[in-house]
Structure 1
Amino acid sequence: MDRLCIRSSLRTISVLVVHLLIHFCGGQSRLVSSPQPVVAKVGDDVILPCHLEPAVDVATKTLEWTRPDLDPRYVYVQRSSQDYEDWKNPSYKGRTSLFTDELKRGNISLKLSNVKLADEGKYRCYIPDRNEESFIDLVVASGAFSSPGISLTGLDECISGVLLQCESEGWYPDPEVLWLDGEGNVLSAGPTETVRGPDDFYTVSSRVTVDKRHGKRFTCRVQQNKINQTRETHIHVPDDFFKVQSRCSATTVGLAVSLAVSIMLSLLLLLLLCKKNMSKRNQMDEVESEDQKETKQTGRIRGAASRCCCSLLPFVSKRRFRKEKLSRVEAQSQVRSLKEDLEATKQELEGNQTTTNELQEEQKKRQEELTTLKNQLIKSEENLKQKNKQLQEEKQERGKTVGEVERLKKQVKELDQLWDEKTKLERKEKDLEKKK
């Protein structure tokens, strides 16, 4: 009979061990929350889902909701079925609660009332007694963003185009702005201007230049993919706005013609001065030859007796020659000054053209540098997001690993106790056999 009792007790212990192993290794509940971010609008109430699967009663357990980026980090704390309001971060006091009727079914979802922009972030659902945790992201969006308004701000006479501007306000997070033609094709527009107001909401504006080849109907679309919100407005531009004659080409042609005319006038003036100078030289040569002839004739006729009279004639001719020479020098100086002015004007025009080309090249380089920097920033942000995601996943895996280690430690302790009990029972069985 004693042997039968001992065997039955051993069987009972083995069954208990098997049940314990099944409970700890295969039937452990895990904490589950939403894998996708929860989106809420400012002023609304939102529920952050979190529950045990399979369901386990946690009504008397310690339950915590926290935000790791806050100090204090507690959003909601419950111990022994009591809400510890004093432990909460001041911004969450009076705005967080649990569904007490659902705690028996393992539902510890958090209700957050009167959502604010500052509530956006990552939340942690945690059960310290079970070392179970789960994370969920809350995205807060503005519920008062306006439909975009389109206005005609000017005309581009160079291409017979129209300049349109689109503006929308009250957005959070900041959206992107797209311009579409009548067929739904995206138009190339300038950079979107984003301004954050004192209420933390964003106002965005964008400009685009369109011409007749783009059609008559245009759409400004403001969208925020993160919260799946889109607003758009359409505008119809009449043909009359595209009939403005291009004046830029006419102005350019006028400048070119005026420059050509001024150069031709300068050349004509130069030719006239040269002809005048040549005629003066010819006149001087004729005067000199006539003076020489008169001098020879006077010398032959009057002879030595009229030397005094003859000496006056060279004096007069020399005086005339000097006057002609002075006038020729003045004409040459005028020609030189005109040439210098033409050269200076030409150099100035070339310098202006060179400066314009340099400015255009420098602008292109700066635009390329800005584009490169923007791409680098986008890549850096993506890398940071990926690293942050990896860190969060590693943190969750570490938490799960720590929980598994703790459970295994408990199982080892229990198995040791069972082994000790089994050893004691075997000793008692041996003692009983010896006594028999």
Structure 2
Amino acid sequence: MTGITQQMDGLSLQAPLRPLRLLVVYLHLIHSCRGQSQLIGPSQPIVATVGDDVILPCSLEPTEDVAAKTLEWTRSDLNPIFVLVWRAGQDYAQIKHPSFIGRTWLFPDELKHGNISLKLSKVKPSDAGTYKCYIPKLNTEYFVDLVVGAVSLPVMSLAGIDEATRGVVLQCESKGWCPEPEVLWLDGEGNLLSAGPTETVRGPDDLYTVSSRVTVEKSHSNSFTCRVQQKDTNQTRETEIHVTGMRM
């Protein structure tokens, strides 16, 4: 009887623990299914043109009111790194990088929906880079890449005659590009021509001027095209010239 009594006592001590263990497991499953809030944004770089206004998207998922939280937009290559800091319900401009003063805003009415997208006005070439959207309290972040582009139409001219081949030397120049573009020459049938190295100059406004020369001979159409293109911004500009009086 003593052995049976001890066994029964052991069972009676363990029984109340089982519901508690089940409750712990249940709460753990709820936490796992609910997941942690995270910031989401575009998977591709945002492309903007110099002088335009642009929005860098970033929002919290699942939705949560973040108006009372500290919110940060930063760029690690800057000093100070802060593009915008939202603190105590307002833009904390004292620590913002000087180049962004008066040019960056959040959308206050959207903060209650977890939307902390950044508006950047009058985009400059120096604005290109990787921006971090960050909520310190939730320890969640997202990175948005901004590509800044500027384009212009190439200008073509006759630069002279190549004495060795008696061919015509054509010159092409295009100013005000960002990022740095490449220059291609094509004949009337669309075939690439072999040209000399492209000369590139970067101005104080961070915009590029490119120039190139090619020597051409008599062709079927005597039509030639200078094409300037920038792959990151998917921008292309070209100018065609028709050369008459070329010797065979």
Band of TM-score, shorter chain: 0.7 to 0.9
1:44 aligns to 2:52 (yes or no): yes
- Higher normalized contact order (CA 8 Å, seq sep 6+, divided by chain length): 2
Q: Which residue of the partner structure matches residue 111 of structure 2? A: 103
Residues 13 and 112 of structure 1: is their aligned pair in 2 closer, same or farther, counting only changes over 3 Å?
farther
- 2:146 is matched with 138
Given that residues 70 and 137 in structure 2 are in contact (C-alpha distance below 8 angstroms), is that contact kept between their aligned partners in structure 1?
yes
Tell me if structure 2 keeps the 8 A contact 1:165–1:205: yes
**One-letter amino acid of the structure 2 residue matched with residue 108 of structure 1:** I
Query: 2:164 is aligned with what amino acid?
Result: C
Q: Which runs of 5+ in 2 are unaligned?
A: 1-14
1:32-71 map, 5 Å:
32-71=40-79
- Shift of the alpha carbon at 1:11? 6.3
Deviation at 1:22, TM superposition (A): 2.0
Within the candidate set 72, 93, 115, 2:101 is matched to 93
Counterpart AA for 2:157 = S
Q: What TM-score comes out, normalization by structure 2 length?
A: 0.85
Query: Cα RMSD (Å) of the superposition?
Result: 2.3
Aligned to 1:421: none
Change (3 A) 1:18 1:62: farther
Identity of aligned residues (%): 64
| Aligned: 1:200 with 2:201 | no
Give the match's secondary structure for 2:214. Answer: strand
Which residue among 136, 156, 170 is the counterpart of 2:176? Answer: 170
- Cα displacement (A) at 1:35: 2.1
Higher relative strand content: 2
In the alignment, is residue 161 of structure 1 matched against residue 167 of structure 2?
yes
Q: 1:141 to 1:216 in 2, by over 3 A?
A: same
1:75 maps to amino acid? V
Runs of 4+ residues deviating >4 angstroms = 10-17
Q: 1:242 is matched with which residue: 225, 244, 247? A: 247
Once the two structures are superposed, the pairs formed by residues 114-153 of structure 1 within 5 Å of their partners are: 114-142=122-150, 145-153=151-159
Partner of 2:191: 185
SS of 2:111's equivalent in the other structure is helix
Change (3 A) 1:208 1:236: same
Whether the 8 Å CA contact 1:181–1:214 is kept in 2: the answer is no
- SS at structure 2 position matched to 1:154: strand
1:76 is matched with 84
Alignment of 1:22-421 (within 5 A): 22-24=30-32, 26-142=34-150, 145-213=151-219, 215-238=221-244, 240-243=245-248
Matched pairs, number: 233
Distance in 1, Cα, partners of 2:226 & 2:26: 68
Cα drift, residue 98 of structure 1? 1.0
Instruction: Report the AA paired with residue 242 of structure 1.
Output: R
Provide the C-alpha distance between the structure 2 equivalents of 1:107 and 1:83, rounded to a whole number of angstroms. Answer: 15
Cα-to-partner distance string for 1:378-429 (whole Å, 9 max, x where unaligned): xxxxxxxxxxxxxxxxxxxxxxxxxxxxxxxxxxxxxxxxxxxxxxxxxxxx
Q: Is the 8 A contact 1:64 1:125 kept in 2?
A: yes
CA distance, structure 1, for counterparts of residue 102 and residue 165 of structure 2: 61
Rg larger in structure: 1
The secondary structure found in structure 2 opposite 1:212 is coil
**2:138 match: secondary structure:** coil
Once residues 29 and 65 of structure 2 are traced to their aligned partners in structure 1, the CA distance between those partners, rounded to angstroms, is 21
SS in 1 for 2:43: coil
* Cα shift readout 1:272-321 (whole Å, capped 9, x = no counterpart): xxxxxxxxxxxxxxxxxxxxxxxxxxxxxxxxxxxxxxxxxxxxxxxxxx
